Structure 1
Amino acid sequence: MDWKSFMEGSKNLSTFALAIRAVILYIALIIATRLMGHRQVGILSGHNYLVAAGIVSLAAIRMLNPESSLTSGIVIVFVYAFVNIFLSYLDIKWPRAIDRKPTILMKDGIMLRQNMLDCHVTLDNLLGQLRLKGAHNLSEINSIVLEPYGKISVIKKPEALPLTRKQMNLPSKMAALPAILIYDGKIDEENLNSMGLDHKWLMAKLREKGISSPQNIFLAMLESDGTVYISI
């Protein structure tokens, strides 16, 4: 293989060479994304979005065009990543100077039309976001805030909030995450031991469902309320 043509690009590259270039570039994208951290994936501020769009566009060009330079593509990917890390650091130190601030779209139950116009948020957009938040009636909402990363936060009026166990004078309930007990016929020993459970307890739960062996189970989970969910 001609390594210079492979790295710098050539119209005579074979399909196999193009595939290897795509794999290398994809691995570089994964490494760059890991370097940028969770913020890039979960919280997209303005500069995060531009970096993500730029990297995706760059990767697409390098993957499709055999004459493009793989070396320069990898360099640009990591330059983008480090610029993004630097801007995210500045965003933490001086958030008002780097990123946008939250915008109030509703206050005390009153829609702020000018703020909606300034943020280019249409009523249909807003109502759609509210439905995703489980807030279907505007009369139940006290405040709506458009966050810098494009999502909305909703604060309902006190009379529209659901009752809590504390308000009902009920004893507190320990919160716990669901845990996998069996996956694809194999018992997750680590999860079982971490919860202080053993095989005897697990087999008893399986017999209650009419199941004799863990090998017959695709997924078994212990849910937060103590229920054992089983899917064969």
Structure 2
Amino acid sequence: MEHYLSIIFRTIFFYILILVIFRLMGKREIGELSILDLVVFIMIGELAIVAIDNPNKSLIHSSIPMVLLMLIQIVLATLSLKSKKFRDLVDGKPTIIINRGKIDEEAMRKQRYNFDDLLTQLREKDIRSIADVEFAILESSGSLSVIERMNNSDGKPKDGDITIPLIIDGNIEEENLTRINKTNLWLRQELKKMGYRDVRKISFCSFENGKFFVDIMDEE
């Protein structure tokens, strides 16, 4: 009887501990978990199962690895928040699969993403035909973001664009500049015209449909 009571107590204890740990690590939707989050969550779950199955092992010894994983995850998440390069290394970058209605087969091959995957995820979003898609972006979480074609009043397709980040955390995204056939010099000149002389003070700058959106770091 004592053995069963111990298992019940340990189950409740680690249930509460895991809830506290996940709460401290921050709120993330299941579909938005990064590889880093997923690895930590799986390891914490496995450690909890082992701890519950071994009632002779002290709660403190069983809890230390779980708390250590939590601290590691928080430190790495902080690094990811402050460093775009580290964030890209851990989480990866979003990939445009369909660009202005044209499928990018090379991007699909790089991501080991096939047409069955594409069609499945389009159906899940109630998209009947690829012809209805203007942009499809494979996010770093593995989910597919879809922007449908817009039509003018005459029923003809309307030109549209997606938000293209040109500056993130004070760093110019050279790859995105190349995508829109612009240069670093062009970007700096355009920003100077708008009164932004120091790129390092810009937390986010995007370019969409010929218009800029600029957000200054820690500006209230």
Decide which of 54, 64, 81 is 1:75's aligned counterpart.
64
Out of 71, 94, 114, the position equivalent to 1:122 is 114
Residue 125 of structure 2: which of 129, 133, 140 is its match? 133
Gaps of 5+ in 1: 1-11, 161-232
Aligned residue identity for 1:147: E
Higher strand share: 2
Amino acid at match of 1:135: I
Q: How many residues align?
A: 150
**Structure-2 separation of matches of 1:22 and 1:159:** 56
Structure 2 segments unaligned to the other structure (5+ residues): 153-220
Aligned to 1:14, the other structure's residue is in SS state: helix
**In the alignment, is residue 90 of structure 1 matched against residue 82 of structure 2?**
no
Q: Distance in 1 between matches of 2:118 and 2:108?
A: 9
Residue 16 of structure 1 is matched in structure 2 by 5
1:138-169: per-residue Cα shift (whole Å, max 9, x none)? 00101111111221111111129xxxxxxxxx
Residue 28 of structure 1 aligns to which amino acid in structure 2? L
1:35-114 correspondence to structure 2 within 5 Å = 35-39=24-28, 41=30, 43-98=32-87, 99-114=91-106
CA distance in 2 between partners of 1:64 and 1:121 (Å): 40
**Distance in 2, Cα, partners of 1:19 & 1:159:** 60
Once residues 31 and 25 of structure 2 are traced to their aligned partners in structure 1, the CA distance between those partners, rounded to angstroms, is: 11
Extract structure 1 runs of 4+ deviating beyond 4 A: none
State the alpha-carbon separation in 2 of the partners of residues 137 and 122 from structure 1. Answer: 16
Deviation at 1:23, TM superposition (A): 1.0
* Cα RMSD after superposing both structures: 2.4
Maintained 8 Å contact 2:25/2:74? yes
Q: 1:74-108 deviations in whole A, cap 9, x for unaligned?
A: 11112111211221111111133233111111112
Q: Could you tell me which amino acid in structure 1 is paired with residue 49 of structure 2?
A: A
Q: Does the Cα contact within 8 Å between 2:31 and 2:141 map onto a contact in 1?
A: no
How far residue 73 of structure 1 moved from its aligned partner, in angstroms, is 2.3
3-state SS of paired residue (1:92)? helix
Q: Does structure 2 retain, via aligned residues, the 8 Å contact 1:116–1:122?
A: yes
Shift of 1:36: 0.8
Amino acid corresponding to residue 86 of structure 1 in structure 2: V
